[in-house]
């Protein structure tokens, strides 16, 4: 085993800025922890990672990320339990997925020992930024960008892999209304929809702005060929409860393989709930809403955990969802968070303790 000093160069802040942050009134993604990780790829290899004080960086205007969009990212969270232990949730899934995303964008894959050494060192240094209690977490954003200078239309030969962290509360504080897409598309067959490529999110901002103007917070995307099948929302995978059955779309090269999504599938089945992973049509959703068999829609994601959807619009008609007792969404959110905050047994082996000593 390598020691941390063998793997990382570390330069700590002289004084923490944690006292400047109001943890009771956090806007998501506005405050950042004291340290960040930066690792450069050049001469055909990843160099020694560095832990540095969080701060601005300089790039030349010709850096390829600005011109050809070679950029991928991940979203993770660290949680603190009542005994001040810090836990990650399924971090290997995030590590594997950022390399899957990188490969699709012609970015070199990142070494596992670098990733985990950097992650654990950041959390040890910035442990006080992880607040305990429901809804509190430290959001972790690993990402890679093409940093080589040059405007030739070709993959970069240089990259920066970085990790930054920000304290977070719940992403959605109240139920959301959604618009079912019938014109714009998030991704296409053979494309990069399954990857967490930065451009996937940039491309959906305009249609989401149009939905916001109509009073909707998110779009439920449909397949690009026919707009017949429901897929995912802008920042979330989706679950539909029809009677007592839970339905979610299968992953594909258009749909992100969400870590929270697959965790909810396992958790639901563990609790005896029937889950179908299959295509679901807009027509089936509308029919279920009309005949009353549609009980719930909820979204899942790292930032959102579980977001409750109170209604949807399709073809200029709005459908309210019923108010029901003991919804699956609430039950699964509690079950998931009890594992994340170390309040319950973890039969799946999802928790990953960060050794602070």
**pLDDT, tens digit, for every residue of 124-133?**
999 999 999 9
pLDDT above 70 for 2: no
Count of C-beta atoms within a 10 Å radius of residue 112: 12
Query: What value does the mean pLDDT take over residues 265-285?
Result: 97
pLDDT at residue 6 in the model: 83
Burial class, 260, CB count within 10 angstroms (exposed 0-12 / middle 13-18 / buried 19+): buried
CATH class for the region spanning 176-340: alpha beta
CATH class for the region spanning 4-168: alpha beta
pLDDT band at 1 (very low <50, low <70, confident <90, very high): very low
pLDDT above 90 for 235: no
**pLDDT, tens digit, for every residue of 24-59?**
899 888 999 999 999 999 999 999 999 999 999 999
Query: Is 229 in contact with 282 (CB distance < 8 Å)?
Result: yes
Q: Which of 235, 267, 230, 270 is nearest to 249 (CA)?
A: 230
Where do the structural domains in the chain lie, given as residue ranges? Answer: 4-168, 176-340
Q: Phi first, then psi: give them for residue 279, nearest 5 degrees.
A: -70, 140
What value does the mean pLDDT of the chain take? Answer: 95
Work out the widest C-alpha separation in the chain, in whole angstroms: 63
pLDDT at residue 5 in the model: 64
pLDDT above 70 for 3: no
pLDDT above 70 for 270: yes
Place of tokens 């690009």: 224
Count of C-beta atoms within a 10 Å radius of residue 17: 13
**pLDDT, tens digit, for every residue of 130-168?**
999 989 999 999 999 999 999 999 999 999 999 999 999
pLDDT band at 304 (very low <50, low <70, confident <90, very high): confident
**pLDDT, tens digit, for every residue of 167-189?**
998 777 788 999 999 999 988 88
pLDDT above 60 for 286: yes
Which is it for the CA torsion 128, 95, 59, 193, positive or negative?
A: negative
């Amino acid at each position: 085993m390598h020691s941390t000093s063998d793997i990382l160069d570390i330069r700590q802040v002289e004084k923490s800025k944690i006292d400047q942050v109001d943890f009771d009134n956090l806007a998501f993604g506005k405050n950042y922890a004291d340290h960040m990780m930066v690792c450069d790829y050049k001469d055909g290899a990843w160099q020694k990672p560095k832990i540095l004080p969080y701060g601005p960086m300089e790039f030349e205007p010709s850096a390829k990320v600005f011109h050809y969009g070679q950029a991928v990212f991940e979203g993770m969270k660290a949680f603190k339990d009542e005994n001040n232990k810090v836990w990650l949730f399924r971090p290997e899934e995030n590590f594997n997925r950022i390399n899957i995303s990188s490969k699709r964008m012609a970015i070199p894959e990142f070494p596992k020992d670098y990733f985990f050494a950097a992650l654990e060192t950041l959390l040890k240094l910035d442990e006080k930024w992880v607040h305990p209690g429901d809804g509190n977490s430290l959001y972790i954003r690993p990402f890679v960008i093409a940093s080589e200078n040059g405007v030739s239309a070709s993959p970069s030969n240089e990259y920066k892999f970085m990790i930054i962290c920000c304290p977070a509360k719940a992403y959605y504080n109240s139920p959301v209304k959604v618009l079912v897409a019938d014109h714009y598309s998030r991704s296409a067959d053979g494309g990069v929809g399954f990857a967490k490529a930065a451009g996937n999110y940039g491309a959906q901002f305009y249609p989401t702005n149009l939905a916001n103007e109509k009073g909707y917070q998110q779009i439920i995307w449909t397949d690009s060929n026919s707009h017949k099948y429901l897929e995912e929302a802008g920042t979330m995978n989706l679950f539909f409860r029809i009677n007592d059955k839970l339905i979610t779309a299968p992953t594909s090269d258009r749909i992100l393989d969400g870590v929270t999504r697959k965790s909810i599938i396992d958790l639901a089945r563990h609790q005896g709930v029937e889950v179908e992973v299959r295509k679901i049509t807009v027509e089936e959703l509308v029919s279920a809403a009309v005949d009353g068999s549609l009980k719930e829609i909820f979204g899942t994601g790292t930032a959102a955990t579980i977001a409750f959807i109170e209604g949807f619009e399709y073809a200029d008609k709005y459908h309210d969802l019923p108010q029901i007792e003991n919804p699956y969404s609430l039950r699964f959110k509690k079950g998931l968070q009890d594992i994340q905050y170390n309040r319950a047994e973890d039969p799946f082996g999802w928790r990953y303790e960060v050794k602070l000593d």
